[in-house]
Structure 1
Amino acid sequence: MSLTKSLQQQLLHVAKDSIAYGLQRGHALAINSEDYAPDIQAQRASFVTLEINQQLRGCIGMLEAMRPLVVDIAENAFAAAFKDPRFAPLTASEYPRLDIHISILSPAEAISFYSEEDLIRQLRPGTDGLIMQEGNKRGTFLPSVWASLTQPEEFLSELKLKSGLTSDYWSDTLKVLRYECEYISEAR
């Protein structure tokens, strides 16, 4: 389901407003989803990625739909700015330089495969986001990661590392799910 340009802009404003609110108040902007169009009230999973000068500044999201999309984006934008453990909390001086990118995920579907080679053959570079899970270890790469990891073997190897496994790990109990994303970015 693709959102209209107007709804995409609303979501970008919600993300930006939630970060600004966080700078002033220390928590995400409270959103009443009923104040928004039905398409963004629907439960959907999302990630919010923040960049400054094309460098990652924070990225937080949900792999499963747990709350209305507009609420998910407000919460994830705040968390990406202030709670991503890889970065210090966003400062007021950084705020005007932020580029906000929203990824809205389709529901994830399990991929059936009988070997690593079979899995690699089924991957769709540039389209698939992947979730890898082995026991209590789990990681994901959004489809946008294909821009920097263009080869399926490399993509899979790096996802294993992100999931807390070794790059050459393989097991018959490994689970891999795929999803697609609708991307929304500010025009600059």
Structure 2
Amino acid sequence: MLTETQRRQLIDIARESLHHGLMHGSPLQVDTNSLDATLSAPGASFVTLHRHGQLRGCIGSLEPYQALAADVAHNAFSAAFRDPRFPPLDQSEVDDLALEVSVLGTPEEITFSSEQDLLNQLRPGTDGLILEENGRRGTFLPSVWESLPQPEEFLRQLKLKAGLPADYWSDTIRVWRYSTESFGDKTL
């Protein structure tokens, strides 16, 4: 669990990285030496942008490979300027932008014997999922349950995101669950 101060610092870093990206075309470089041990330790995050209640970008890391604060700065920039679903963020959009940071817990592989067994183990509203099959991979954050509350549809859409048919099933599919600690700013 992050403290309120740590959450505020991560939101500020994400916001600064967006503004840095608009001015310089690159993510903010974070001096992790000036941060506490939690923010300078390796961590995985997603940054989600909304504009007028609609998704405007979402990019993240599934595994920790850099300091959490640097990961947030990188993912904020990528969500704004590199999400292939959207054009790069424009200065005119900044005033209407809401930002959410999700810090990921460690993924835990789920053991299941069938698709129905997997569905029975899912925890709607709690589980983020990573699905992997034949080199294809997709993930949904726990917040996706808000728009896909039924486990069957959640899994169907996750398969599509991973580039598989919605009705695809194989005994070699692997699935991990993770939790997130999510927090945000209404506007930048």
CA contact (8 A) 2:99 2:186 kept: no
Matches within 5 A, 1:47-66: 47-66=46-65
Q: How many Å separate the matches in 2 of 1:150 and 1:171?
A: 24
Does residue 137 (structure 1) correspond to residue 136 (structure 2)? The answer is yes
| Aligned partner of residue 80 in structure 2, secondary structure | helix
Corresponding residue of 2:25: 26
Q: How many Å separate the matches in 1 of 2:88 and 2:166?
A: 31
Q: How many Å separate the matches in 2 of 1:130 and 1:152?
A: 11
Residue 184 of structure 1: how far off its partner (Å): 1.1
Name the amino acid aligned to 2:175: V
Corresponding residue of 2:157: 158
Residue 42 of structure 1: how far off its partner (Å): 1.5
- Render the CA deviation track for 1:146-185: whole Å, top value 9, x for unaligned: 0010011111111111111111111010000000000011
| Aligned partner of residue 8 in structure 1, secondary structure | helix
Residue 187 of structure 1: how far off its partner (Å): 4.7
Q: How many Å separate the matches in 1 of 2:185 and 2:68?
A: 18
| Aligned partner of residue 176 in structure 2, secondary structure | strand
Unaligned runs of 5+ residues in structure 1 are none
- Render the CA deviation track for 1:7-64: whole Å, top value 9, x for unaligned: 1011000000000011001101111111111111111110000011110111110011
Unaligned runs of 5+ residues in structure 2 are none
Q: How many Å separate the matches in 2 of 1:9 and 1:54?
A: 22
Does residue 94 (structure 1) correspond to residue 71 (structure 2)? The answer is no
Q: How many Å separate the matches in 2 of 1:163 and 1:99?
A: 27
RMSD: 0.8
Pair 10,131 (structure 1): closer, same or farther in 2 beyond 3 Å: same
Corresponding residue of 1:110: 109
Q: How many Å separate the matches in 2 of 1:46 and 1:172?
A: 30
Corresponding residue of 2:179: 180
CA contact (8 A) 2:98 2:186 kept: no
Paired positions, count: 187
TM-score, scaled to structure 2: 0.97
Q: How many Å separate the matches in 2 of 1:58 and 1:72?
A: 16
Percent identity at matched positions? 52
| Aligned partner of residue 58 in structure 1, secondary structure | strand
Name the amino acid aligned to 2:23: Q
